[in-house]
């Protein structure tokens, strides 16, 4: 006989990664807030344990109990890793001194193990959400001294969590490389905050008659393919001079993007907004006619891009590289257009086609919006996560807290 799912009324959400500002503007921040909001809408009490906040919580998250974890100073990498490992003692004490909880929900970070261990000792279920292959990523991009210790933490939490939630099949493949994960990996892609796209959203920027705006949202980093986007936009503008480019976000590639635009004489035809808050994104998307996810050909592509879910929710036709999970999310000619990654001419041709065919833009945008709001909201994501751990939101006792 199958056991009934256990009711969940109190959750400890653990984010011990100092690179994730839970109230910040990064994609990881949006992810944390999306999951927490969905839990709250289910009537669940949430305690948030986080090492970095970057400001005050949004108004609708003010009732979440916040427990600040130690955040080691920047500097010597080896010392920082030691401090992050040592912080497990403080996280364990904070969890034991709070609650009791029905579920530990942890966003996997390199050095954090106390959340999963506490759940085991307390006899409650735990979910470990894994967003990327952190160990090879850290080693390649930021440096990793104590790799054996990071691997030990990984094996501990991968083997100890009741459910391992991978945001993409690429991440799931990484997890399945650890024998400790056998039978507990499920793929649950990212979502979107439906309330921000539930009605008509006014454009944040004025739209001149006849002007066609190509847009991008995200951190401006090399793996986002911005150089290819600029080249494709230059080709579009050569053929359709009424076009403009709107880039929402900031990052290390900004100066490079500006130099490329200047080289093509297109700085005046582009706007780079810099970093914006999540609440500003819907109005900026409403200022676009088409949105692009121009990822180049990347080995081991494991992303579940939040931007694409937001593009779809905003009713925009999406042009994306046919790579990784994007090939599953976007059905070409049905809810967007796909092109081979890195093929700039194919991207430019897709943009010209959408410029010239408003009916196609409308058809693709409406289909994408219907699908993402039906299947990929944060509410739907959290429901699937609770199912994966054999739990359900319940209106049970709030443990006298």
pLDDT given at position 393: 63
Asked, for residue 203, whether it belongs to a domain, the answer is yes
Asked, for residue 398, whether it belongs to a domain, the answer is no
Q: By three-state DSSP, how is residue 40 classified?
A: helix
Residue in this structure with the two tokens 């004490």, named with its chain if needed? 93
Q: Are residues 133 and 16 part of one domain?
A: yes
As for how many domains the chain has, the answer is 2
Residue 62 falls in which region: left (phi positive, over 0), alpha (psi -120 to 50) or beta? alpha
Tokens for 377, please give them: 């909201």
DSSP string across 40-85: HHTT-EEEEEES---SPPPGGGTTSEEEEPP-PPSS-HHHHHHHHH
- Tens of pLDDT, residues 254-288: 999 999 999 999 999 999 999 999 999 999 999 99
Q: Are residues 18 and 124 part of one domain?
A: yes
- Tens of pLDDT, residues 38-84: 999 999 999 999 999 998 999 999 989 999 998 888 879 999 999 99
Q: Are residues 260 and 151 part of one domain?
A: no
Q: Are residues 203 and 110 part of one domain?
A: no
Q: Are residues 326 and 314 part of one domain?
A: yes
Give the domain extent around 251.
Answer: 195-375
Asked, for residue 1, whether it belongs to a domain, the answer is no
Q: Are residues 384 and 345 part of one domain?
A: no
Q: What is the dihedral of CA 294, 220, 286, 201, to 10 degrees?
A: 130
Q: Are residues 143 and 217 part of one domain?
A: no
Q: Are residues 246 and 164 part of one domain?
A: no
Q: Are residues 354 and 247 part of one domain?
A: yes
Q: By three-state DSSP, how is residue 163 classified?
A: strand
Q: By three-state DSSP, how is residue 3 classified?
A: coil
CATH number at residue 28: 3.40.50.2000
Q: Are residues 381 and 371 part of one domain?
A: no
Burial class (CB in 10 A: 0-12, 13-18, 19+), 62: exposed
The secondary element (H helix, E strand) that includes residue 270 is strand 270-272
Asked, for residue 69, whether it belongs to a domain, the answer is yes
Mean per-residue pLDDT over the chain, rounded: 93
Asked, for residue 399, whether it belongs to a domain, the answer is no
Q: Are residues 29 and 175 part of one domain?
A: yes
The Cα angle at residue 303 between residues 348 and 276, in degrees rounded to 5: 75
Q: What pTM value is reported for the model?
A: 0.92
Point out the residues of the chain with pLDDT beneath 70. 1-5, 392-401
Q: Are residues 278 and 177 part of one domain?
A: no
């Amino acid at each position: 006989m199958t056991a009934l799912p256990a009711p969940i009324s109190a959750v400890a959400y653990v984010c011990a990664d100092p690179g994730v500002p839970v109230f910040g503007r990064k994609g990881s921040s949006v992810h944390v807030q999306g999951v927490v909001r969905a839990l709250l809408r289910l009537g669940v009490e949430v305690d948030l344990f986080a090492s970095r906040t970057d400001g005050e919580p949004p108004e609708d998250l003010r009732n979440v109990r916040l427990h600040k974890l130690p955040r080691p100073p920047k500097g010597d990498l080896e010392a920082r890793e030691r401090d992050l490992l040592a912080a497990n003692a403080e996280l364990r004490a904070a969890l034991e001194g709070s609650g009791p909880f029905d579920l530990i929900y942890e966003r996997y970070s390199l050095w954090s193990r106390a959340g999963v261990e506490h759940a085991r000792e307390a006899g409650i279920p735990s979910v470990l959400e894994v967003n990327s292959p952190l160990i090879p990523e850290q080693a390649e991009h930021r440096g990793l001294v104590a790799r054996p210790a990071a691997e030990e933490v990984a094996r501990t939490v991968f083997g100890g969590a009741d459910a391992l939630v991978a945001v993409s099949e690429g991440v799931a493949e990484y997890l399945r490389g650890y024998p400790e994960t056998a039978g507990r990996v499920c793929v649950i892609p990212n979502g979107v905050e439906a309330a921000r796209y539930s009605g008509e959203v006014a454009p944040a920027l004025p739209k001149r008659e006849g002007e066609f705006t190509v847009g991008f949202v995200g951190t401006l980093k090399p793996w986002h393919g911005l150089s290819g986007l600029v080249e494709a936009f230059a080709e579009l503008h050569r053929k359709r001079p009424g076009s403009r480019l709107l880039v929402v976000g900031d990052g290390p590639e900004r100066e490079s993007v500006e130099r490329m635009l200047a080289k093509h004489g297109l700085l005046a035809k582009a706007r780079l907004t810099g970093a914006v808050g999540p609440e500003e994104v819907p109005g900026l998307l409403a200022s676009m006619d088409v949105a692009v996810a121009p990822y180049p050909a990347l080995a081991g592509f494991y992303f579940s891009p939040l931007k694409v879910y937001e593009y779809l929710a905003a009713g925009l036709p999406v042009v994306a590289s046919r790579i990784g999970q994007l090939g599953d999310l976007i059905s070409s000619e049905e809810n967007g257009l796909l092109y081979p990654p890195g093929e700039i001419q194919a991207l430019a041709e897709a943009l010209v086609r959408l410029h010239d065919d408003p009916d196609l833009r409308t058809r693709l945008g409406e289909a994408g919006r219907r699908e993402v709001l039906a299947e990929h909201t944060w509410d739907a994501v959290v429901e699937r996560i609770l199912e994966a751990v054999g739990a359900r939101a319940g209106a049970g006792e709030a443990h006298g807290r």
